[in-house]
Structure 1
Amino acid sequence: MIKALVIVPYEGLYEMMKEIQQEVKDFQLDIEIGNLYEGVAVAKEAENNGYHVIISRGGTASLIQEAVSIPVIDIQVTGYDVLRIITLVKGFSRKSAIVGFSNITQGAATICKILDLDIKTLTISKDTEVKEILTNLKKHGYEVIIGDVVTVQTAKQLGLTGVLITSGKEAIMDALEEAKRSYRIFSQLQQDVSLFQSILDCNEQPIGVFNIEEKLVYRNERFNQEFHWMIVENSNDIKKLIQETALTKEKQTRTIHINQSFWNITACPQDGAIALFFEKNLSNQSAVQDGEREAKNAIEFRTSASYVSVSGKSEPIQKVLKQIEQYSVNDKAVWIYGEKGNGKELAAHAIYAKRNNLYDPFIVLHGELLRTGRLKDFIVEDFFQKYANGVIYLKNIDHLSADIQKELFDIIKNDKSAKIKWLVSSESNLEEKVKSGTFDRELYQTLGQQKIYLPPLRERREDIEDLVHVFISELHPKYGNGVVGTRPDALAELADYDWPGNVEQLKQVIEQLFKQTSSYYIEKEAVAAVLARLEQPEKKDDALTPIDLNGTLEEIEKQVITKVLEEEGLNQSKAAKRLGINRSTLWRKLK
Structure 2
Amino acid sequence: MEARILFVAPFASLAKLAEEVVLERFTNSANLIKVVKGDLQECIAIVKQAVEDGVEVIISRGGTATLIKNSVNIPTVHIQVTVMDVLRALRNCGEYPEKIGIAGFENVIYGCEDLATLLGITFVEIALKNEGEALEKITAAVQNGVELIIGDAISTKLAARVGVQGALIQSGKEAIYKAINEAELIARIRREEQEKSELLCTVIDTSVEGIIATDINDRITIFNPMAEKFFQVSHLEAIGNQLQAVIPQFSLQGNDDFTEKMADVQRISDKTLTIKHSQIKVKDEVIGSIYNFQHVSQLQQLEQNVRKKLHAKGLVAKTKMTDIVGSSSACSVLKRKATKYALTQSTILITGESGTGKEMLVQSIHNVSARANGPFVAVNCAAFPESLLESELFGYAEGAFTGAKKGGRQGLFELAHGGTLFLDEIGEMPLSLQSRLLRVLQEKAIMHLGGESVIPVDVRIIAATNQNLAQLIDEKNFRQDLYYRLNILRIHMPTLGERIEDIPLLAKEMIKKMNHINGKITGIHVEAREYLKQRDWPGNIRQLANTMERAMLLANGPTITKQDIIEAYDEKGESIGESDRGKSKTKDSLATVEYDTLLRVLGEEEYNYSRAAARLGIHRTTLWRKLNSKVAKK
TM-score, normalised to structure 1, is: 0.41
- State the structure with bigger RCO (CA 8 A, min sep 6), 1 or 2: 1
- Larger radius of gyration, structure 1 or 2? 2
TM-score, normalised to structure 2, is: 0.38
